[in-house]
Structure 1
Amino acid sequence: MPLPFLTADRAFDTTDAVALPFDDHDQWRRPYRPGPYRVGAAALALLLASFVLLAAVIIAAAGAVGAAFVTFGVAVLIILASLRLLRMGTWVSRAGVRRVGFFATSTTPWAKVAAVRTVQQPVRWLNFPRTVQGQALLLDRAAGEQQVLLTDHNADFLSRTEAFDRAADTVEAWQAEYGVRR
C-alpha cells in the first residue's frame, strides 16, 4: 500500500539543480521526508492502537459492549493522533507556505512573506522546553512578525543536517519563485 505522505517528496532527494521539481505547483507539498523520530513515534502509537483494538475485541467478547465502544474510541483517537503527527511540518505550494502543527495550522500567502532565511539561534530540542544552539528557518512576514518553520533539532532533522539544509534551500527557492519581487 503506497503511503503518499511518506513518498511524495522523493523528487526533493535528487541531486539535480531543480529547486521546484514538481509540475503541479498548486498542490501542497512537504519539501522533505518525515524524520525517523517522527515516523518511529507514529509507528509506536499505531502499535499501541493495535493492542487497544485487540483489547476492545476482548472486552466486547466478554459482554461489556459499552466499555468496548469506549476502548474502540480510544484506539481511534490514538490512530488519528499518529496520522496528525505524520502530517506535521512545513508545506509549500504556489499559494504560500503552511506550518502544520499538532493542534493548529497556519498558512501565509507568499505575498505576505518578506523573507525566508536560515539563522543560528537557540532552538528547542525535539519540541521539549530544553534549548540548544542550532539552525532555524525563519519566515519574516511583511507585517514584521517572525515564525520558525524548521529547526535542525526537531523530529524531522535531528542528526540529519544535510536534509535540513536541502529543505531550507527548497523553501527559500519557493519563496524566491513565488514571493513578492521587491
Structure 2
Amino acid sequence: MPLPFLTADRAFGTTAHDVALPFDDHDHWRRPYRPGPWRVASAAVLLLLASFVLLAAMIIAFAGALPGAGVCLGLGLALIVSALRLLRAGVWVSRHGVRRVAFFSTTTVPWNRASAVRTVQQPVRWLGLPRTVQGQALVVVRQGDEPLPLLTDHNADFLSRAEAFDRAADTVEAWGSEYRGA
C-alpha cells in the first residue's frame, strides 16, 4: 500500500535547491516534510481514546440504551475527525502557492502575492500554547499585509528537531523562489 506522506523524504538530499522540487506533478498540494512526533503522538492518543469511546458505544447499544450509544458514537466520530485534522495541519506547497493548515482554519497565499519567504528570529509559541519562547519562524511576507508565520522550530512538527526545521524551511523557501517569479 503506498504511503504518500512518506514521499517527502525524497526531498532531503544533498542541497535544498537541487532536490527541493522532487515531485513530478507540482500542481498537487504537498507537505515538504514529515509530521513531527508530537503531532503523531497526539493523534495516536486521540485515536486510542476514540476506540474506547466507540467500544463503550457498542456496549451501551447492546444494553438497550440507544440515545446514550448515539452520544458515544458521535463523540467517537468527533475524536476521529479531530485526530485526522491534527495530522493534516501544517504547511503545504504547490505551484499555486503556499497553504498553512491550522486546526480550525486554512490560509492560502498564492506565490504571485508573496514578496518573500524567509526565516526570522522572533518569539514563537511553544507547541501552539500561549507561552512564547525565542525561536525561529519561517514567514511568508504578503504584499501589502503583515507576515504570515508558516513554521516555527517550537511547533508540534519540529520541537527538539532543529535539523528537520532547517530542511523544511529550506525546502519551502526553494519552492517560493522557484514559483514567486513565475
Category of TM-score, reference length = shorter chain: over 0.9
What's the Cα RMSD here? Answer: 1.3
Partner of residue 42, structure 2: 41
Give the CA deviation at 1:2: 4.8
Q: Which ranges of structure 1 fall in alignment gaps of 5 or more residues? A: none
Give the CA deviation at 1:106: 0.9
Partner of residue 112, structure 2: 111
Q: How does 1:113-152 map to 2 (within 5 A)?
A: 113-152=114-153
Q: Deviations over 1:85-122 (max 9, x none)?
A: 00000000000000001011011100000000001111
Q: Structure 1's 78 and 22: CA in aligned 2 closer, same or farther, altered over 3 A?
A: same
Matched-pair contact (CA < 8 Å) for 2:137–2:149: yes
TM-score calculated relative to the size of structure 2 = 0.95
Between the aligned partners of 1:94 and 1:129, the Cα distance in structure 2 is 33
State the SS of the aligned residue for 2:109: strand
Partner of residue 11, structure 1: 10
Matched-pair contact (CA < 8 Å) for 1:30–1:91: yes
Q: Which amino acid aligns with 1:132?
A: V
Q: Which amino acid aligns with 2:152?
A: T
Matched-pair contact (CA < 8 Å) for 1:90–1:149: yes
Give the CA deviation at 1:67: 1.1
Between the aligned partners of 2:83 and 2:3, the Cα distance in structure 1 is 14
Partner of residue 21, structure 1: 22
Between the aligned partners of 2:134 and 2:55, the Cα distance in structure 1 is 44
Between the aligned partners of 1:19 and 1:46, the Cα distance in structure 2 is 33
Between the aligned partners of 1:174 and 1:96, the Cα distance in structure 2 is 9
Partner of residue 84, structure 1: 85
Matched-pair contact (CA < 8 Å) for 1:8–1:29: no
Between the aligned partners of 2:146 and 2:122, the Cα distance in structure 1 is 17
Give the CA deviation at 1:18: 1.4
Partner of residue 50, structure 1: 51
Between the aligned partners of 1:165 and 1:90, the Cα distance in structure 2 is 14
Give the CA deviation at 1:180: 2.9
Matched residues, number: 180
Between the aligned partners of 1:14 and 1:65, the Cα distance in structure 2 is 55
Give the CA deviation at 1:3: 4.3
Between the aligned partners of 2:59 and 2:11, the Cα distance in structure 1 is 45
Between the aligned partners of 1:92 and 1:55, the Cα distance in structure 2 is 40
Between the aligned partners of 1:57 and 1:3, the Cα distance in structure 2 is 31
Give the CA deviation at 1:144: 3.1
Identity %: 66
